[in-house]
């Protein structure tokens, strides 16, 4: 018997045109885009569908845009596909997961991630922080390289994405030093990331009190489906945990490897990535062979995945 989890992507999966065919073909998707446009008082849908790319890449737009597309895909899929036993999201995707689990209203989540994106953008002046992906080095070795490279500055693992890929974040110079140390330790590649801020490290601490004010105004309910949090990498269903975990997440690493392992330990056999891109499915394949992953981001992939899961 297939046991399904839904997972939701984070920043970096955006692309101009995302969600457009779902908007045109499915009233459920249209309702999601219209609700977010209404909540934000602007046509974010137009930015998703036609860009320009520079506008879509601004963190304050990217975060609500990915959330909206993910919620639209979920709205369409939930009417036609199997129900999930668990939900999880990568960074920003955790908000999409909470919407899917009924813990947070869509419009509240859109306003919250617009604020989150704005606060993150503003927390560190341009050029002060940086992020880099370290490929082909064990996570423990990456952490050790960061510790050795800090020299009084901040640099630490931000995303434990797969056994071969860890993203680091912090002060630009410290990230550069850590990259050199990772190379010396045997990393295959060090790729600087084109991001506007150093997410998921201590430089994001100033975001927390501001985000706490925003989240205090959000109506929350107990998740209908357990949510695997980025911070603890364990499923939870207690409504009282939602805000503390979302606040901690701002400066804590995304423990994606352990999130996937938690799904596996709880008997999940199939994961459906709902939203733009196939990033999470690719990471899941590198973490475990025991979970089959699919992605739904448009009408064509929807049909394909429904057929595959019907067979499963």
Catalytic annotation, residues: 91, 200
- Distance, in Å, from the CA atom of 169 to the CA atom of 175, rounded to the nearest integer, reads 6
Nearest to residue 161, comparing CAs of 312, 11, 3? 11
Pair 89, 102: CB distance under 8 Å: no
Tell me if 48 sits within 8 A of 69, measured CB to CB: yes
Residue 138 in contact with residue 163, Cβ under 8 Å?
yes
The tokens for 279 are 């990033």
Strands (E), 143-213: 155-162, 165-171, 189-192
Q: Which two tokens stand for residue 52?
A: 């320009």
Give the strands of the sheet with 4-8, arranged side by side. 235-236, 227-228, 86-89, 4-8, 270-274, 292-296
Alpha-carbon distance of 215 to 301, in angstroms, equals: 34
User: What 3-state DSSP class applies to 256?
Assistant: helix
């Amino acid at each position: 018997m297939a046991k399904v989890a839904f997972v939701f992507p984070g920043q970096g999966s955006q692309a101009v045109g995302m969600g457009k065919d779902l908007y045109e073909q499915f009233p459920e998707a249209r309702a999601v885009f219209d609700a977010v446009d209404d909540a934000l008082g602007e046509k974010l849908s137009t930015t998703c569908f036609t860009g320009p790319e520079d506008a879509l890449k601004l963190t304050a737009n990217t975060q609500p845009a990915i959330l909206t597309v993910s919620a639209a895909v979920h709205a369409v899929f939930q009417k036609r596909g199997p129900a999930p036993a668990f939900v999880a999201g990568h960074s920003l995707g955790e908000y999409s997961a909470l919407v899917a689990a009924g813990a947070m209203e869509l419009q509240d989540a859109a306003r919250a991630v617009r604020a989150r994106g704005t606060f993150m953008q503003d927390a560190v002046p341009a050029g002060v922080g940086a992020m880099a992906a370290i490929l082909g080095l064990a996570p423990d070795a990456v952490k050790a390289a960061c510790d050795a490279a800090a020299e009084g500055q901040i640099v630490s693992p931000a995303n434990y994405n797969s056994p071969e890929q860890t993203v680091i974040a912090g002060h630009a110079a410290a990230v550069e030093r850590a990259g050199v140390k990772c190379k010396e330790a045997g990393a295959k590649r060090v790729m600087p990331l084109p991001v506007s801020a150093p997410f998921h490290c201590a430089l994001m601490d100033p975001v927390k009190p501001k985000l706490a004010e925003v989240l205090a105004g959000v109506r929350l309910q107990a998740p209908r489906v357990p949510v695997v949090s980025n911070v603890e990498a364990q499923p939870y269903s207690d409504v009282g945990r939602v805000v503390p975990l979302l606040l901690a997440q701002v400066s804590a690493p995304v423990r994606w490897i352990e999130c996937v392992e938690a799904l596996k330990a709880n008997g999940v056999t199939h994961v459906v990535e709902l939203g733009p891109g196939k990033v999470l499915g690719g990471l899941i394949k590198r973490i475990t062979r025991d979970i089959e992953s699919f992605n739904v981001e448009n009408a064509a992939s929807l049909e394909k995945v429904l057929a595959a899961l019907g067979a499963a």
